[in-house]
């Protein structure tokens, strides 16, 4: 944390500056006061360190500058590719009625804080016009949307949050893919910091433009620059959101960084294991540095957010902190940003989030929930927690039946089902209490100097506009290039893995199973837990109701009875909702890992339980074995058999029911062939779980369990084999396993 950041004493002090019905933390005395100016089309806010501008029509953050850059007040926002500058995915610009206002006037609080708002009112029709661009937004957005930006005295950053409200008088609808994001200036930013593995200088926009197209619009082989020869793929910077509360770009020349900090994850979707895009080069011409904070993600399995006609719904997304430190090299700035996370987390919930209809409980209205999970498992009597995640979420809904699986494609559809619910949990000793600018402009064009007679090409000969961005269009404007009307995901029953509509609260438990979840909003929740080493999840059958103002809620000891379908014969992998323990699990951030399989395993996987090493002998992806080896990755592969050798103990049942239990990260293939000791018992066509991890170079996505039964009489004492076969097809059409386990139960009397 910078020495000029708010002192710890100010954070811990109970003394608050009360003005105009708002409560503010005391600012550093020496810092200049905050000012706000209405410039007509924009608002300008400044605190002496930062000066920012907000467009009063779009709600975009159109300018961010600081006097502390090497070139004072150089523009940090990008205006070359994609949706320019800072923006929320949905904009109120086309709403039936729009109001811009100063919601916190620094003149009324001694210059402590300013806040501006741009709000669009739906009036029962979409605020996105006829041509929405967000994935899953085929019906538009029939919802009020307010975007706010807040700047405080002495801060090296600003806050932004969005308030979505579906009035009870409105028709049904949905919120599509949604995020807060930036296109940053490529003249300033050249270094991307996501985590310890991905913290380095990046290619330039010119490098991106000159690259050769690969098998998807987001991937190119670089032909110039410091990373010449590398395949650049925006998904290679995806990450588990819970593990990166701070991430962003920085500048080796201007000594400045711009980082997104999520002080809480309650407003994000899909729980603590959600993989998403983070930062990359924009895939449009010019490739501006891009930074994205998804709160309704649609990648790696995605999430759901629908509302019915007559349903009142509202959600406050954020506040997100945009941290802009200066004066150091990129690695030092990133370290500073990570330290700043603890400062912002300590301030959550923020006292400045106020106003009529703003559903944001303050600290006194929130509750700390604690308890202890105790595993009762006769097959693991000495189980010890290593990694334990415990959370409260909106109660699970019944699964929605899946539509028949289509033929495999390069970009498989997100999953439509999740964990099955099982009545195997006991909640012991607990009784719940009663109680426009630039954002709409097309990408910049290259001046025609006579050397480019074909205006469909860039000067380097590459096709223009190979990217994906489609800007918003006013009513009556042709929709060339827009996504087709009705583009939407299949319906899903809400579970903690796909919920973007409600709030979720998660924490890491301790080795003895104890957990403490702070700052839980009032409401009714379902308790969940996942732990390394346990196949499946704890999904409580009793709901937890939290009343406003309830200081602490102790759930006591909660018994967790993991599911078994018989005696465990073998297990490959560790149940941890990831493929990280398999070969290349620690080095998968590269385009085309599905192509590499055939090179690394020319004779396919042959695995002996108890002898082979999962970290060396079991690959992260079981995919069709490449037979084309095309430089673009548009390859086909033959069927891929993986052979498992194992020994049946002398006391194991050889009659009754055998169950192959699969924990799946991704399954984009049509089916999985299964043979036991040379006899076909498959195929298994009930795979599900297509989270898009394989073609996005990931090893985490929406997790599902799929169980396959066969006659245990096919097994015999001693040596046995099971062969799992992925059919021929595109080389990214396969399976990413979390775990494979065989259990056998004797005949039922």
Q: What is the mean pLDDT of the chain?
A: 87
545 versus 25: the higher-pLDDT residue is 545
Q: Measure Cα distances from 638 to 195, 605, 622, 681 in Å.
A: 36, 14, 12, 21
List the domain range (segments joined by +) for residue 157. 28-360
Q: Is residue 279 located within the same domain as residue 372?
A: no
| Model pLDDT for residues 672-697, shown as the tens digit of each residue | 999 999 999 989 998 876 778 999 99
Q: Is residue 506 part of a domain?
A: yes
Q: How confident is the model at residue 411 (pLDDT cuts 50, 70, 90)?
A: very low
d(CA 172, CA 584): 45
Q: Is residue 164 part of a domain?
A: yes
Those residues whose C-beta lies under 8 Å from the C-beta of residue 600, and which sit 6 or more positions away, are: 583, 584, 619
Q: How confident is the model at residue 493 (pLDDT cuts 50, 70, 90)?
A: confident
Those residues whose C-beta lies under 8 Å from the C-beta of residue 356, and which sit 6 or more positions away, are: none
Q: Measure Cα distances from 725 to 290, 533, 733 in Å.
A: 40, 26, 12
Q: What pLDDT is attached to residue 357?
A: 85
Q: Is residue 696 located within the same domain as residue 549?
A: no
Q: Is residue 2 part of a domain?
A: no
Q: Is residue 77 located within the same domain as residue 99?
A: yes
- H or E element, residue 346: helix 330-347
Q: Is residue 572 located within the same domain as residue 496?
A: no
CATH (domain of 503): 2.60.40.1120
Of 306, 330, 360, which residue constitutes the final position of a domain? 360
Q: Is residue 461 part of a domain?
A: no
Q: Is residue 207 part of a domain?
A: yes
CATH (domain of 588): 2.60.120.260
Q: Is residue 575 located within the same domain as residue 550?
A: no
Q: Is residue 259 located within the same domain as residue 277?
A: yes
Structure tokens that stand for 321 in this block = 């902190």
Q: What percent of the chain has pLDDT over 70?
A: 83
Q: What percent of the chain has pLDDT over 90?
A: 77
- Examine the pLDDT at 22 and tell me if it is beyond 60: no
Q: Is residue 325 located within the same domain as residue 265?
A: yes
Residue 644: beta bridge partners? 607, 722
Q: What pLDDT is attached to residue 49?
A: 98
- Examine the pLDDT at 210 and tell me if it is beyond 50: yes
CB of 740 closer than 8 Å to CB of 573: yes
Q: What pLDDT is attached to residue 414?
A: 35
d(CA 369, CA 372): 11
**Residue among 253, 201, 251 nearest 227 (CA):** 201
Structure tokens that stand for 78 in this block = 């990008």
CB of 288 closer than 8 Å to CB of 184: yes
Q: How confident is the model at residue 105 (pLDDT cuts 50, 70, 90)?
A: very high
175 versus 458: the higher-pLDDT residue is 175
d(CA 210, CA 204): 10
| Model pLDDT for residues 258-284, shown as the tens digit of each residue | 999 999 999 999 999 999 999 999 999
The total domain count for the chain is: 3
Q: How confident is the model at residue 11 (pLDDT cuts 50, 70, 90)?
A: very low
Of 532, 560, 588, which residue constitutes the final position of a domain? 560
CB of 63 closer than 8 Å to CB of 39: no
d(CA 19, CA 263): 25
Q: What pLDDT is attached to residue 456?
A: 66
Q: Is residue 574 located within the same domain as residue 669?
A: yes
Q: Measure Cα distances from 299 to 303, 397, 580 in Å.
A: 8, 21, 19
Q: How confident is the model at residue 542 (pLDDT cuts 50, 70, 90)?
A: confident
Q: Is residue 480 part of a domain?
A: no
d(CA 75, CA 138): 35
CB of 709 closer than 8 Å to CB of 686: no
Q: How confident is the model at residue 301 (pLDDT cuts 50, 70, 90)?
A: confident
Q: What pLDDT is attached to residue 132?
A: 67
Q: Is residue 250 part of a domain?
A: yes
Q: Is residue 297 located within the same domain as residue 204?
A: yes
Other Cβ atoms closer than 10 A to 314: 15
Q: What pLDDT is attached to residue 491?
A: 64
Q: How confident is the model at residue 460 (pLDDT cuts 50, 70, 90)?
A: low
Q: What pLDDT is attached to residue 403?
A: 60
Straight-line distance from the first to the last Cα atom of the chain, in angstroms, rounded to the nearest whole number: 66
Half-sphere exposure at residue 466, Cβ-oriented, CA atoms within 13 angstroms: 24
Q: Is residue 556 located within the same domain as residue 586?
A: no
Structure tokens that stand for 426 in this block = 């006991």
Q: Is residue 550 located within the same domain as residue 587?
A: no
CB of 146 closer than 8 Å to CB of 38: no
- Examine the pLDDT at 5 and tell me if it is beyond 70: no
CATH (domain of 208): 2.70.98.10
CB of 211 closer than 8 Å to CB of 223: yes
Structure tokens that stand for 349 in this block = 């919930």
Torsion of CA 626, 627, 630, 634, to 10 degrees: -60
178 versus 9: the higher-pLDDT residue is 178
| Model pLDDT for residues 131-164, shown as the tens digit of each residue | 666 666 767 899 999 999 999 999 999 999 999 9
Q: What is the CA radius of gyration of the chain?
A: 27
Give the distance between the most distant pair of CA atoms in the chain: 86
d(CA 322, CA 158): 5
d(CA 268, CA 5): 27
Q: Is residue 13 part of a domain?
A: no
Q: Measure Cα distances from 266 to 251, 349, 550 in Å.
A: 31, 11, 19
228 versus 433: the higher-pLDDT residue is 228
Q: Measure Cα distances from 410 to 31, 542, 597, 630, 668 in Å.
A: 54, 41, 17, 15, 9
Of 514, 530, 560, which residue constitutes the final position of a domain? 560
Other Cβ atoms closer than 10 A to 3: 5
d(CA 151, CA 37): 13
Q: What pLDDT is attached to residue 443?
A: 33
| Model pLDDT for residues 593-647, shown as the tens digit of each residue | 999 999 999 999 999 999 999 999 999 999 999 999 998 999 999 999 999 999 9
136 versus 655: the higher-pLDDT residue is 655
Those residues whose C-beta lies under 8 Å from the C-beta of residue 284, and which sit 6 or more positions away, are: 81, 82, 443, 465, 466, 467, 468, 469
Alpha helices in 468-590 (DSSP H): none
CB of 247 closer than 8 Å to CB of 313: no
Half-sphere exposure at residue 451, Cβ-oriented, CA atoms within 13 angstroms: 7
Backbone dihedral angles phi then psi of residue 660, each to the nearest 5 degrees:
-85, 120
d(CA 361, CA 365): 6
- Examine the pLDDT at 444 and tell me if it is beyond 80: no
| Model pLDDT for residues 183-206, shown as the tens digit of each residue | 999 999 999 999 999 999 999 999
Q: Is residue 419 located within the same domain as residue 544?
A: yes
């Amino acid at each position: 944390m910078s020495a000029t950041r708010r002192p710890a004493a100010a954070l811990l002090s109970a003394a608050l500056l009360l003005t105009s019905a708002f409560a503010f933390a005391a600012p550093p005395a020496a810092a200049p006061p905050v000012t706000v100016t209405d410039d007509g089309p924009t608002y300008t806010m400044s605190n002496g360190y930062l000066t920012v501008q907000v467009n009063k029509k779009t709600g975009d953050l159109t300018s961010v500058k600081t006097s502390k850059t090497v070139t004072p007040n150089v523009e940090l926002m990008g205006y070359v590719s994609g949706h320019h500058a800072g923006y929320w995915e949905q904009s109120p610009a086309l709403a039936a009625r729009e109001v811009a206002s100063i919601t916190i006037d620094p003149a009324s609080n001694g210059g402590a804080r300013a806040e501006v708002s741009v709000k669009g009112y739906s009036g029962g029709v979409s605020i996105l016009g006829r041509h929405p661009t967000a994935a899953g937004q085929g019906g538009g957005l029939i919802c009020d949307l307010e975007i706010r930006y807040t700047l405080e005295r002495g801060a090296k950053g600003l806050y932004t949050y969005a308030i979505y409200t579906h009035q009870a008088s409105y028709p049904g609808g949905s919120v599509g893919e949604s995020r807060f994001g930036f296109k940053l200036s490529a003249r300033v930013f050249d270094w991307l910091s996501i985590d310890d593995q991905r913290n380095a200088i990046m290619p330039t926009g010119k490098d991106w433009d000159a690259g050769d197209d690969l098998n998807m619009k987001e991937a190119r082989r670089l032909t110039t620059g410091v990373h010449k020869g590398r395949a650049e793929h925006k998904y290679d910077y995806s990450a588990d959101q819970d593990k990166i509360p701070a991430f962003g770009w920085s500048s080796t020349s201007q000594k400045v960084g711009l980082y997104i900090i999520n002080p809480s994850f309650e407003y994000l979707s899909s729980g603590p294991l959600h993989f998403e895009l983070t930062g990359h080069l924009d895939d449009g011409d010019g490739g501006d540095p891009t930074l994205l904070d998804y709160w309704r993600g649609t990648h790696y399995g995605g999430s759901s957010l629908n509302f019915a006609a007559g349903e009142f719904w509202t959600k406050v997304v954020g506040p997100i902190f945009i941290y802009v430190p200066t004066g150091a090299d990129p690695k030092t700035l990133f370290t500073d940003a990570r330290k700043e996370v603890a400062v912002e987390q300590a301030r959550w919930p923020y006292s400045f989030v106020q106003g009529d209809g703003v559903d944001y409980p303050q600290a006194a209205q929130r509750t700390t929930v604690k308890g202890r999970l105790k595993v009762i498992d006769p097959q693991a009597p000495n189980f010890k927690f290593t990694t334990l995640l415990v959370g409260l979420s909106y109660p699970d809904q019944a699964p929605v039946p899946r539509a028949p699986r289509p033929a495999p494609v390069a970009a498989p559809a997100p999953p439509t089902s999740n964990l099955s619910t099982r009545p195997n949990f006991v909640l012991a000793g607990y009784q719940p209490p009663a109680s426009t600018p630039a954002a709409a402009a097309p990408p910049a064009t290259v001046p025609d100097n006579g050397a480019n007679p074909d205006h469909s090409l860039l000067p380097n000969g590459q096709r223009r506009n190979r990217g994906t961005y489609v800007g918003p269009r006013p009513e009556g404007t042709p929709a060339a290039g827009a996504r087709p009307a009705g583009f939407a995901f299949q319906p899903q029953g809400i579970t903690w893995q796909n919920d973007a509509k409600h709030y979720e609260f998660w924490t890491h438990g301790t080795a003895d199973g104890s957990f403490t979840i702070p700052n839980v909003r009032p409401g009714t929740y379902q308790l969940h837990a996942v732990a390394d080493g346990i196949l499946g999840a704890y999904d409580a059958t009793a709901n937890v109701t939290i009343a406003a103002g309830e200081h602490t809620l102790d759930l006591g000891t909660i018994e967790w009875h993991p599911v078994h379908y018989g005696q465990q014969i073998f297990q490959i992998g560790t149940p941890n909702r990831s493929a990280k323990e398999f070969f290349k699990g620690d080095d998968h951030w590269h385009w085309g890992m599905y192509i590499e399989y055939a090179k690394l395993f020319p004779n396919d996987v042959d695995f002996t339980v108890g002898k082979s090493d999962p970290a060396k002998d079991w690959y992260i992806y079981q995919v069709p074995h490449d037979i084309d080896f095309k430089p673009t990755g548009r390859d086909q592969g033959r069927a891929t058999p993986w052979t498992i050798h194992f020994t049946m103990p002398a006391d194991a049942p050889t009659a009754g029911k055998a169950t192959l239990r699969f924990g799946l990260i991704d399954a984009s293939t049509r089916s999985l062939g299964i043979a036991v000791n040379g006899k076909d018992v498959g195929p298994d066509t009930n795979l599900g779980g297509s989270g898009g991890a394989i073609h996005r170079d990931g090893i985490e996505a929406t997790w599902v369990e799929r169980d396959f039964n066969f006659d245990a009489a096919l097994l015999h004492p001693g040596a046995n084999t099971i062969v799992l076969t992925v059919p021929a097809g595109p080389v990214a059409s396969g399976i990413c396993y979390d775990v494979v386990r065989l259990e056998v139960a004797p005949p039922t009397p």
